[in-house]
Structure 1
Amino acid sequence: MGDYRSSSHVYWRCKYHIVWTPKYRFKILKGNLGKELYRSIYILCNMKGCEALELNVQIDHVHLVVIIPPKLSVSTLMGVLKGRSAIRLFNKFPHVRKKQWGNSFWARGYFVDTVGVNEEIIRRYVRHQDKQDQEHEAQLSLQMM
């Protein structure tokens, strides 16, 4: 039962891979803003009783592998993560509010998938996402020449 958790009347293992983007996929999640977002996600996950296993903040999207207890829905967690992080970022970086149209920071939807037998592959993918993107961009620039 090492990978499973327990509550009063339930044994569970609920791991998810979640990806979401800023509105219009603006490339703004860099520098201090990216660091603050990274910190905010960990804090908000802990507040909701979740455990962030892997987190990778790219300049235009976020990857998160998280354990969510069965009493909390994925949509509730995403509402908290997107809503509270947007408020924190707007308060800490007021110039971002001007760039984001409609006064909303995040795009409307998100991607979610359960993590099963491929957990290590998914966690490695999230951990090394930026390296793969850089290699892909380098290959594209070589093809353009």
Structure 2
Amino acid sequence: MDKNNEIRKGRHCLYDLKAHLVFVTKYRYNVFTDEHLKRMEKIMRDVCSDFGCELVEFNGETDHVHLIVSYPPTTQLSTLINSLKGVSSRLLRKEYPDLRKRYWNNTKLWSPSYYAGSYGGTTTEQIKQYAQNQNRPH
């Protein structure tokens, strides 16, 4: 994809579909450090790639993350979200067993709810700035 041209091409269509996603930890526990967020970004980038999507922006704080995802019209957003949350929860609980015991009771990382919004009236840069300005832990 050409970074300067936000219109993507599918086999039979042109599209510019982006979603701003927010996932919060179960019970809004303050779980994440910068190390966790770096690993989570890699995991979520890989999941997006598997779906033919692009993770445009990622950032977070100790209890939630923001993602901006560009996705094709063939991808069902709820399926992508379930995969993003499921894979990241499973891998982070596996890779950080000390946090699993302390915060996630061996079962859940994310709250079952999430925010998903499109942003037709806002530029990608404005949404990116919002995501970048999160109070990321050090």
TM (norm. structure 1) is 0.82
Higher RCO (CA-CA < 8 Å; seq separation 6+): 2
Which position in structure 1 is the counterpart of 2:84? 81
Identity between Structure 1 and Structure 2 (%): 32
CA distance in 2, matches of 1:104, 1:42: 21
- Unmatched 5+ residue regions in structure 1? 132-145
TM (norm. structure 2) is 0.86
1:23 aligns with one of 23, 26, 37? 26
Q: Which is worse superposed, 68-77 or 120-129?
A: 120-129
Q: Which is worse superposed, 57-66 or 30-39?
A: 30-39
What stretches of structure 1 move > 3 A for 4+ residues in a row? none
**Bigger strand fraction:** 2
CA distance in 2, matches of 1:17, 1:31: 21
**Bigger helix fraction:** 1
Which protein has the larger Cα radius of gyration, Structure 1 or Structure 2?
1
Task: Give the C-alpha shift of residue 102 in structure 1.
Answer: 6.6
CA distance in 2, matches of 1:85, 1:102: 14
1:124 aligns with one of 121, 129, 133? 129
Which position in structure 2 is the counterpart of 1:96? 99
Which position in structure 1 is the counterpart of 2:110? 106
Which position in structure 2 is the counterpart of 1:62? 65
- Unmatched 5+ residue regions in structure 2? none
Tell me the matched-pair count: 130
